[in-house]
Structure 1
Amino acid sequence: MTTAAASLATTAWMVMAILIMGPSPTTAEEGQTLTDKTTVQITNGLKVQLTAHCKSKDDDIGEKSLAFDDSFGWTFYPNYIPNTLFFCSFEWDGSGGKKYFDIYDAKRDEQRCTDCKWAIFHNGPCFYDEKAKLYDDCYPFNDS
């Protein structure tokens, strides 16, 4: 391969890498890009004290104790590759031990929210539906 051809091939690879790794023009909703900050908010929907401990592979949000209807949250930038995951344990009197849930899973959540609101109930977490103004998209706790 000639020097000019090698240089052209290298340039082509660099342009492709920039296009793949650079900011994406793809939007999840009008005005929402993959680089937007995301906020997760958790509200205690139980009539008893709730202890929540949330973290990702890299960040420990810490353990929080919430009275009924209290909330806490955090803000982060999701990864370009949709693999951001925050998981939480939840425990309360009568829970029978810790319950677990993936509170932010990019594969499930990146297209639906940048302000992700959850309420924790006895049967599992429920996601807040902005249109209905209700926590009506409910999930069971994880098996382990």
Structure 2
Amino acid sequence: MMKHLATAMLILIIKLETSSAELPDIFTRIVNIKNDLGGGIHLTTHCQSADDDLGVRDLSNGQFTEWKFRVTLIGKTLYWCSMKWNDIVRASFDVYDDDKFWCLYCYYSVRQDGVYLHNLEKDTWEMFHPWK
């Protein structure tokens, strides 16, 4: 009985992960990073995962970079970004990590005092990573 249940669960997991028509957004995540530094300050970002290098992006004030990806039930999804502005402030941190935190829509606002993450439930911006 347990062997059949385990087999059925494995088939269900594989079906869910490979069939986006049945559940189109349950495994899709969106990360959006916006330059809110103001004053004509450019933000340079370099974001990547173990499998995907999204390249270097130069963002003017008000511009953003955004990407979508699918997570799996088995394994780990981790994206991190390096950021700098005015060739002075530099930081590197995780923007999506299955083990520490997750979000369906990860909206980041890069400001002069740090990086904020939008809390969709409260509709507030919360400090995520202060500049050092």
Q: TM-score range by the shorter chain?
A: 0.7 to 0.9
Q: Give the number of aligned pairs.
A: 123
Classify 1:137/1:15 alpha carbon distance in 2 versus 1 (closer, same or farther; 3 Å): same
Q: Which residue of 2 aligns with 1:62?
A: 55
Are residues 1:41 and 2:35 paired? Answer: no
Percent identical among aligned pairs is 24
TM-score with structure 2 length normalisation?
A: 0.74
Q: Which residue of 1 aligns with 2:72?
A: 79
Classify 1:63/1:18 alpha carbon distance in 2 versus 1 (closer, same or farther; 3 Å): farther
The structure with more radius of gyration: 1
Instruction: Provide structure 1 residue ranges, at least 5 long, that are not aligned to the other structure.
Output: 1-7, 26-31
Q: Which residue of 1 aligns with 2:112?
A: 122
SS at match of 1:119: strand
How many Å apart are 1:21 and its aligned residue?
7.0
CA distances 1:81-115 after superposition (whole Å, capped 9, x unpaired) = 3620001100111524x3101011112333xx211
Q: 2:98 aligns with which of 97, 106, 109?
A: 106
SS at match of 1:53: strand
TM-score with structure 1 length normalisation?
A: 0.69
- Contact 1:35 1:78 (C-alpha < 8 Å) held by counterparts: no
Letter paired with 2:94:
D
- Contact 1:39 1:114 (C-alpha < 8 Å) held by counterparts: yes
SS at match of 2:99: helix
Higher normalized strand content (fraction of residues): 2
SS at match of 2:51: coil
Letter paired with 1:99:
A
Aligned equivalents of 1:107, 1:34: Cα separation in 2: 20
- Contact 1:34 1:80 (C-alpha < 8 Å) held by counterparts: no
Aligned equivalents of 2:112, 2:34: Cα separation in 1: 13
Letter paired with 1:42:
I
Aligned equivalents of 2:122, 2:26: Cα separation in 1: 27
CA RMSD of aligned residues (A): 3.1
